[in-house]
Homo-oligomer: A and B are copies of this chain.
Amino acid sequence: MSEEPERHPDDVQQHLRDVQELLSRQRLVEDLVLRQDMPRHDLVEDLVHRQHLAELQHRLDELHPADIAFILEALPLDERLFLWNLVKAERDGEILLEVSDAVRESLIETMDPQELKAAAESLDADELADLAPDLPPEVIQDVFQSLDTEEREQLRAAMSYPEDTVGALMDFDMVTVREDVTLEVVLRYLRRFDELPEHTDKLFVVDREEHLRGILTLEQLLTNDPETLVSTLMRTETIISFEPGDDADDAAQAFERYDLISAPVVDSEKRVIGRLTVTDVVDYIREETEHEILSNAGLREEEDIFAPVWHSVKNRWGWLAINMVTAIIASRVIGAFEGSIEKLVALAALMPIVAGIGGNSGNQTITMIVRAIAMGQVEHSAMKRLIRKEMGVAVINGVFWGGFLGVMAWWLYGSWSLGVVMTSAMILNLLLAASAGVLIPMIRTRFGRDPALGSSVMITGLTDSGGFFIFLGLATIFLL
């Protein structure tokens, strides 16, 4: 055993480079064949060609499905599909699960119903449920027919829960034991398994009707005398369990808070029906935060960076349209004061500062409040206190930055009254930003809406139009 048991985390980058290298050599050969106008079956070329293909295929077979998924995502469409055809059919299912939604779509488009059915049949019920929305209905129908009764029931259950619930994340792989046996019996029972379900850190102790009675960890199983009864060891208090309808966010927070690896999912009668594992939770957390970051920037969903232009246009269209509406409103606010701007053109140059800094400051407030609400740490009763605090921050910033800008306006345009208007407008717009930054998310929560969705667009729209209105309004009253 001279081999060093070692693989490095950044190896996947190396895999990517290797595959790209092989692909480009492959392409070189093909180019040669085409350019020299040689018959495609020329013996020598064909040999080189096949050799490269074999090497590439060999590399792919050795890679973890997640690594293949990574490489597929990083390749432009033509190379991606070329590679996808080299992947062994029986691995298609697990790889489709790993790739991003956008890339999955591009791969599924090229597969015929037979291939899709084969890929789907290699998966567990909970995995199948994840893939199902992307499959053509007739393929799902076919796969459904091929399942046994229990699997059908599981698939039906898994597909019936809305996204963002525990039911949509859970799997059905769990090991249950009875409480009236000794650890020795449990150990013998486990030895009959070829392998345990992935990430098994605890066994669920159930009665004859599958009601959850307690939890026995593998640790307890390993560190205690085999003669001990399960019932004397199992934990029965403060067991963290979930129901399939529970919010996935809450479950994710519980996993983080209590450092869980797995937890039972029970129905309303406390019967164990499934299991939630940390890896599903990690994937969920990553997806949720991805989604939040993308929608903050006005992207509907993750993009395949090599997607056709038209896909990207559709993905970004919605938020641009909303942005357009708020921009036009702000423009009409300015339009109402065109007379004032004509008389004092300095207003045109100064007004974007008031609007811009108001927007930035409002985004700071709303981001903080939205996060605190998401963590469940802001009760409605705290609203007054938070508004007072944010108002305090706004006044300090307004006086300081507004004062600075007032002096700048005075110095640039030689009018101290313009400076005073600038400072006052800054303070007022920051106060508007602060109160809207607290009120918008809290009111939306009160009415059961997601406080995060579009919060940045809303607050920016408000501080833009508000900022222009306040600044130009004050200027019209006091300067003209």
Q: Are A357 and B222 in contact (CB under 8 A)?
A: no
Is the pair A376, B12 in contact by a Cβ cutoff of 8 Å?
Answer: yes
A95 to chain B, nearest CB (A): 12
Docked-complex contact A250 and B296, CB < 8 angstroms:
no
A372 and B305 contact, Cβ closer than 8 Å, known pairs A345-B341, A367-B299:
yes
Does residue A278 face the partner (Cβ distance < 8 Å to B)? yes
Task: Classify the secondary structure of A's interface with B.
Answer: helix
Contact among B285, B294, B330 for A352, CB-based, below 8 A: B330
- With both chains docked as a complex, state the minimum distance between the C-beta of A477 and any C-beta of chain B, in angstroms: 19
Contact A371 B293 (CB under 8 A): yes
Which chain B positions have C-beta within 8 A of A199?
201, 259, 261
Interface string of A40-83 (1 = CB under 8 A from B): 00000000000000000000000010110010011010000000
Contact A306:B385 (CB < 8 A) given known A316-B361, A393-B313: yes
A341 → chain B, closest Cβ, in Å? 5
Tell me if A169 counts as interface (CB < 8 A to partner B).
no
CA distance A351 to B289 in the complex (A): 34
Given contacts A12-B257, A293-B367, contact A222 B187 (CB under 8 A): yes
- Is there a chain B Cβ closer than 8 Å to A421's Cβ? no
Given contacts A6-B239, A253-B9, A297-B367, contact A397 B352 (CB under 8 A): no
Q: A393 touching B5 by the CB < 8 A rule?
A: no
A412 within 8 A of B: yes
At the interface, yes or no: A447 with Cβ under 8 Å from chain B? no
Q: Taking the full assembly, how many copies of this chain does it contain? A: 2
Contact flags A271-301 to B (C-beta < 8 A → 1, else 0): 0000000110111011001101110111100
Determine if B319 and A360 form an interchain contact, defined as CB atoms under 8 angstroms apart. yes
- Which of the residues B16, B195, B278, B369 comes within 8 Å of A261, measured between beta carbons? B278
Known: A261-B278, A293-B371. A316 touches B352 (CB 8 A): no
Q: Are B282 and A278 in contact (CB under 8 A)?
A: yes
Are B219 and A5 within 8 A (Cβ)? no
Q: List residues of chain B with CB within 8 A of the CB of A9.
A: 240, 242, 246-247, 250-251, 253-254
Contacts of A86 in B (CB 8 A): none
Report A178-228 residues with CB < 8 Å from chain B CB.
187, 190-191, 193-196, 198-201, 212-215, 218-219, 221-225
CB distance from A315 to the nearest CB of B (A): 9
Residues in B with CB closer than 8 Å to A74 are 376-379
Please, which residues of chain B bring their CB within 8 A of the CB of A241?
5-8
Q: Is A134 an interface residue (CB 8 A)?
A: no
Chain B residues with CB below 8 A from A385, complex form: 76, 306
Q: Are A320 and B378 in contact (CB under 8 A)?
A: no
- A90 interface hit (Cβ, 8 Å): no
A34 CB-CB contact with B under 8 Å: no
Q: How far is the CB of A34 from chain B (nearest CB, A)?
A: 22
**A3: CB under 8 A from chain B?**
yes
Binds B, one of A111-119, A120-128, A155-163, A331-339: A331-339
The smallest C-beta distance from A399 to any residue of chain B, in angstroms, reads 11
User: B191, A319: Cβ atoms under 8 Å?
Assistant: no
Contact, CB under 8 Å: B1 / A236: yes
A346 at the interface (CB under 8 A from B): yes
Please name 26 pairs of A and B residues whose Cβ atoms are closer than 8 Å in the assembled complex, sorted by A.
A1-B231, A5-B239, A5-B241, A6-B212, A6-B239, A9-B251, A9-B253, A16-B376, A74-B377, A193-B223, A198-B259, A199-B201, A256-B283, A259-B279, A297-B368, A298-B364, A302-B371, A309-B393, A316-B361, A316-B364, A324-B405, A327-B352, A327-B357, A328-B353, A335-B346, A345-B348
